[in-house]
Amino acid sequence: DVYDLLVRSFAPSLFGREDVKKGILCQLVGGTHLLPSAEEEGETRGQEGKGKSKARHELHILLCGDPATAKSQLLQYVHKISPRCMYTSGRGSSAVGLTVCVSKDPETREFVLESGAVVLADGGVCCIDEFDKMEEAGRSILHEVMEQQTVTVAKAGIVASLNARTAILASANPVSSRYDRRRAVIENINLPPSLFSRFDLIYLLLDTADPRTDRLLAHRLCRSFGSRKSPETDDGSATHADTRPPLPAGFLGLYIAYCRYRCAPRLTLEARDHLRDEYLRMRHRDVTSKHPTATIRQLESLIRISEALAKMRLSKEVTRADAIEAVRLMNLATYQSLVDPYTGEHCVKHIHPPHSVQAADKNVSRNTRPSSHLYFLKSS
């Protein structure tokens, strides 16, 4: 299977985290870049199409959790194999360093634009380590980058809009030294809710004590400094894992580039029906809880992930199996971060601060219309 082979070839030195690797592979491949049809392009030139924009096909991923969970190593490996990638740190990055700055040319004495990290990574990936330590100005400018895929600047008489069709791969640490399971994710991570909700996949990398996993991890780490015998199971017998060597990093980067820029699969009827039914099922959860468990952004994320899975197989169609795998990745990633620490239910309200949720609850109680729960969609 090509899908499993790519996962085994991605960051082979890192033990486990297969689902995280699958999500990052989907980000590197990206969704289908749909070009406007002749009819839509004609409308865009006219007066009626001035406010229209194309949906983005890039996936944004946030890795957050405890220290020593290989977050930075994953970012560095992506920077190594990605065909077009920029790596930066949130602690030492400013707003102009991420987007664009205006400087004076020493020869012509005229003001010119100098591109930042997200503009230089147009069509690729921008890895931002220590995302939670970024300045407030840098976070504000990323709102436009992550949704509209552009950077607008108006300085020194220069008014321009630059393309920033960049996928953001960020890593963040908890506010305290370790992740507190008793608190919601928005209370653990120092990020504004409006920026937090723009990520398609949010992985919580927690350092949990598991005897079997800890034993295999310690055995593999010690083996890298000594003899290279096969790992053993709990009963002492050697495992018979797949001995096929993974793909080299150089070939993996070339294959990802080919899938990203040469494949454009379209959703089949079965895939569309499954994604639609799954979205309606997630929306139906808020009938009793009065809080939406999914927004339209989750449906768009499912479509992009399904397209990326089909592109990995060099397929022209997104099958129902791709849609099922996309839903599974979404449930394992984003919805893990939206679990209520007390009830165990999934709820989008956990990407909002408590005071905004309480105000929204009062607004819902005053408004008895059936569509009053759409308030949460507007607040994000």
pLDDT attached to residue 336: 64
* Distance (Å, whole) CA 136 – CA 134: 7
Residues 77 and 125: beta-carbon distance below 8 Å: no
Q: pLDDT below 70 — which residues of the chain?
A: 34-54, 224, 226-245, 285-293, 335-380
Report, in this order, helix, strand and coil percent for the chain, each rounded to 5.
45, 15, 40
* Distance (Å, whole) CA 368 – CA 379: 18
DSSP states of 194-208 as a string? Answer: HHHTT-SEEEEE---
- Give the DSSP H/E element, type plus range, for residue 350: none
Task: Please list the residues that pair with 155 across neighbouring strands.
Answer: 158
Task: Please list the residues that pair with 64 across neighbouring strands.
Answer: 172, 204
- Looking at residue 155, the DSSP 8-state letter turns out to be E
- Give the DSSP H/E element, type plus range, for residue 20: helix 18-29
* Distance (Å, whole) CA 155 – CA 135: 20
* Distance (Å, whole) CA 72 – CA 87: 11
178 CB-side CA count, 13 A = 7
- Going by C-alpha positions, the residue among 199, 143, 274 that lies closest to residue 23 is 199
* Distance (Å, whole) CA 19 – CA 342: 25
- Give the DSSP H/E element, type plus range, for residue 274: helix 269-284
Measured at the CA of 87, the angle between CA 81 and CA 91, to 5 degrees, comes to: 150
End-to-end CA distance of the chain: 39
Q: What is the pTM of this model?
A: 0.79
Query: Residue 33 has which token pair?
Result: 């870049």
Decide if domain 2-34+54-208 falls under CATH 3.90.1150.10.
no
- Going by C-alpha positions, the residue among 308, 361, 371 that lies closest to residue 58 is 308
Which residue is listed with tokens 């990203």? 260
Query: Residue 158 has which token pair?
Result: 């220069």
How do the domains of the chain map onto residue ranges? 2-34+54-208, 265-379
- Give the DSSP H/E element, type plus range, for residue 152: strand 150-155
Query: Residue 280's Cα: distance from chain center in Å?
Result: 22
Residues 65 and 207: beta-carbon distance below 8 Å: yes
Task: Please list the residues that pair with 96 across neighbouring strands.
Answer: none
- Give the DSSP H/E element, type plus range, for residue 262: helix 249-262
Residues 6 or more apart in contact with residue 229 via CB below 8 angstroms: 223, 238
pLDDT attached to residue 61: 95
Which residue is listed with tokens 């194309």? 54
Query: Residue 121 has which token pair?
Result: 């990574």
Residues 148 and 162: beta-carbon distance below 8 Å: no
Residue type, 99: T
